[in-house]
């Protein structure tokens, strides 16, 4: 059989991650029903981005001329979800600021800093929910113990709506569990 010059197969159209998806906070999964429930964060624009950075270390051994299979370890992992918020609420703005607090008066919600980050500032999780072209089940990427640590930037322009990028970073649980989970639907191929 000749070597193909394209990765396209008859099953390729079943495996495309479609559109920008939606973002939820405090999403839960019921394995018995297969249902996810949570609170929508709001409208986004320009898509959303999941990133997993791994710090990899090569265990050096005398006599080895380079990296050796089996002698590579993961020292750390940092999972982030960048959400480009277009729907701006006091609650969403407060989520972008680590250690924020919100009070209210008659006319306004007032967001200020507590000058410290408390355990209650972390979300249970933040999650991207998208659609795979060949499945009615969603693709779900969950970042556990999420908090925005990069601060708030609001840029405005004429004849356009502000888009506020919020980078949520996941954190390991007290038991050392991974800060992320990816639920990838099983696709039935022909």
Evaluate if residue 93 carries a pLDDT over 70: yes
Band (pLDDT 50/70/90 cuts) for residue 2 is: confident
DSSP string, 58-92: E---TT--S--TT-EEEEEEEEEEEEEE-S--HHH
Evaluate if residue 113 carries a pLDDT over 90: yes
Percent of the chain with pLDDT over 90: 87
Q: CA 42 to CA 92: how far, in whole Å?
A: 8
Check: CB of residue 73 under 8 Å from CB of residue 57: yes
Check: CB of residue 70 under 8 Å from CB of residue 39: no
Assigned token pair, 190:
């022909």
The 3-state DSSP class for residue 162 equals: coil
> What are the pLDDT digits (tens) for 34-49?
899 999 999 999 999 9
Task: Please give the mean pLDDT across all residues of the chain.
Answer: 94
What domains sit in the chain, N to C, each tagged with a CATH number? Answer: 18-183 (2.30.110)
């Amino acid at each position: 059989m000749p070597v193909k010059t394209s990765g396209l197969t008859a099953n390729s159209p079943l495996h495309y991650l479609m559109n920008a998806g939606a973002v939820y906070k405090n999403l839960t999964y019921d394995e018995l029903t297969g249902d996810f429930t949570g609170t929508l964060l709001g409208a986004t624009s320009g898509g959303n981005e999941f990133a997993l950075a791994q710090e990899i270390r090569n265990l050096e051994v005398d006599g080895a001329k380079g990296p050796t299979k089996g002698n590579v370890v993961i020292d750390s992992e940092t999972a982030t979800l960048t959400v480009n918020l277009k729907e701006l609420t006091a609650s969403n703005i407060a989520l972008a600021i680590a250690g924020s607090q919100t009070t209210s008066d008659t006319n306004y919600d007032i967001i200020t800093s507590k000058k410290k980050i408390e355990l209650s500032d972390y979300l249970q999780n933040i999650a991207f929910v998208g659609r795979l072209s060949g499945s009615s089940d969603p693709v779900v990427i969950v970042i556990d113990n999420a908090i925005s640590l990069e601060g708030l930037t609001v840029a405005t322009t004429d004849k356009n709506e502000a888009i506020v990028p919020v980078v949520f970073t996941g954190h390991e649980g007290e038991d050392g569990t991974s800060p992320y989970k990816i639920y990838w639907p099983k696709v039935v191929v022909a």
